[in-house]
Amino acid sequence: MAETYQQYLDPQVLNHIRHLEVTARNVVEGFLAGLHKSPYKGFSVEFAQHREYVQGDDLRFLDWKAYAKSDKYYIKEYEEETNFRAVIVLDTSESMRYSSGENKSKLDYGRYMAASLAYLIQKQSDAAGLALFDEKLYDYIQPATSHVTLLRMLATMHERPAQKKTNIGEVLVDVAQRSGRRAMIMIISDLFDNISHLKKGLEHLAARKDDVIVFNLMDPQEREFKFDRLTQFIGLEDYPELLVDPRSLRKAYLEEVDRFNNEVRRACLRARSDFVAIDTGMPLEVSLQAYLAKRMGRRG
């Protein structure tokens, strides 16, 4: 089993990302909310204890209140000063099963993506957890830094088949409740659900001030709809079948996709979440690299 689920740690992907880390470590660290440079100060950072100041300590963490009371310099130490908690929320609904041509299915792509991110997070001694869902939240693994947790995450992802419908709104509420304190929530999904449900979930996370990144996976065929002959579409997630000439429908379909993407973007913006559109036809490392570069640029 271990041999199988470890496939999600694709050496090629990891090599790329690791290479990315070596060559642009700052970017990776920034992405992972590196403590010192993060513009998002306060992420997963909680006070643990005081200790006496020694030369070289960052004066920003000097506890001026304690100095006023004791006339001594104390430095505030935070429990997670050098790591943070990230929960990777992976959609395993039936719609994620879809793949076109030689591409990976969205679920497989998501699995690789989740595994890669978890690996990198843990590699920096940060905690990564996993939540799998379709109609509801099935599996939840608390964020941890141990390698054992990573393996558990991989195994859980591997065993979970794609089935049932999506109900992302309730799932996100459930995740928020289970994750306890604030965390980085990385949602990997095609988001094929009622948009209002998504909005509801994102708004709930936003209220908790969780840092949310929405990775919206779409197959190239779903994005472009380049079918050229009469096709019977068999709906996943209990949708009906439809026999149609796709060429005559393409324009309207693309409009529907655009409309959906725009609404999702708007919902993410309103919830101050990052929205990342991922094309599963693109190599995973390229997709991640692009996003990381973008995020780095934003950090300045």
Partner 1 sequence: MPTWLLWTLGLGVPLAAASVPIIIHLINLTRYRRVEWAAMEFLLNAYKRTRRRMQMENLIMLLLRVCAVILLAAALFPMGCQKMRDAIGGDFSGGAILNNDAPMHLLMILDDSASMAYESQDETSLSRAKVYALSVVDALDQARDRVSVIRLSDVHVPPRAGGGVVTAQDEAQSRRSRLDKASFLSVSDARRLISNTELSAVDTNILAAMREAARLADATPQSDALGLLVISDYHLAGWGEVRKDGPVNAEFVQSVQRIQPRLEKSGTQALFFDSGLEKPENFAITNIRVEERVIGNGMEATLLVDVARFGDAGEGQRRPVRLRYRINGGQERPVGTTVQLAPGESATSIQVKVPARELALKEDEAATGASRNIEIYTDDADPLRSDNARNLVLHVVPNVPILVVNGVAHPDPDLDETFYLETALGISSNRGEGDRGDGEVVNITPNRITTLEPKQLDTKMTFLEYRLVILANVKSLPAGVVENLEAFVRAGYSLLVFDGDQVDAQSYNAQLYKDGKGLLPARLGAPGGLDDRGAEHYSLAVQDRTHPVISLFADSEENLSIITDPKVIRNWRTLKLPEGVEVDPLRPTNVLLNLNLPGGPQPLVLERSFDRGKVVYVGTTAGERWNMLWRSNGLPLFLYLEMAAYLTSNEARYSNLRVGEPYRRVLRGNEVAPVFTIRDPSKVSAELQPTELTGPSTGASVPVNMIEFGGTTQPGVYTLSAMERDDKGALRLKWSERFAVNMDTRESDVTKLALAEGGTEAALREALPDVPFAFARASTRGEDGQADFIDPKDDQLWMWLALAAAVFFTLEIIWSGVISKPEQ
The residues binding partner 1 (CB under 8 A) are 94-98, 106, 190, 192, 218-219, 222, 225-237, 239-240, 242-257, 260
The tokens describing 176, both together, are 């928020």
CB of 252 to partner 1, least distance (A): 4
**What is the C-alpha to C-alpha distance for residues 83 and 7, in angstroms, rounded to an integer?**
26
CB of 273 to partner 1, least distance (A): 22
Please say which residue, 46 or 255, places its beta carbon nearer to partner 1.
Answer: 255
**What is the C-alpha to C-alpha distance for residues 144 and 154, in angstroms, rounded to an integer?**
14
Dihedral Cα 42, 43, 46, 51, nearest 10 deg: -60
Please say which residue, 61 or 260, places its beta carbon nearer to partner 1.
Answer: 260
CB of 19 to partner 1, least distance (A): 33
Q: Specify burial of residue 11 (Cβ count, 10 A radius: 0-12, 13-18, 19+).
A: exposed
CB of 118 to partner 1, least distance (A): 25
CB of 76 to partner 1, least distance (A): 49
In contact, 73 and 67? CB cutoff 8 Å: yes
**What is the C-alpha to C-alpha distance for residues 284 and 102, in angstroms, rounded to an integer?**
14
Please say which residue, 55 or 248, places its beta carbon nearer to partner 1.
Answer: 248
For residue 126, which of 169, 95, 86, 173 has the smallest C-alpha distance?
86
**What is the C-alpha to C-alpha distance for residues 59 and 221, in angstroms, rounded to an integer?**
54
In contact, 135 and 164? CB cutoff 8 Å: yes
CB of 133 to partner 1, least distance (A): 16
DSSP 8-state secondary structure symbol assigned to residue 237: T
Please say which residue, 3 or 241, places its beta carbon nearer to partner 1.
Answer: 241
Dihedral Cα 92, 97, 99, 102, nearest 10 deg: 90
Please say which residue, 199 or 204, places its beta carbon nearer to partner 1.
Answer: 199
126: enclosing H helix or E strand: none
Please say which residue, 20 or 107, places its beta carbon nearer to partner 1.
Answer: 107
Please say which residue, 53 or 253, places its beta carbon nearer to partner 1.
Answer: 253
CB of 257 to partner 1, least distance (A): 5
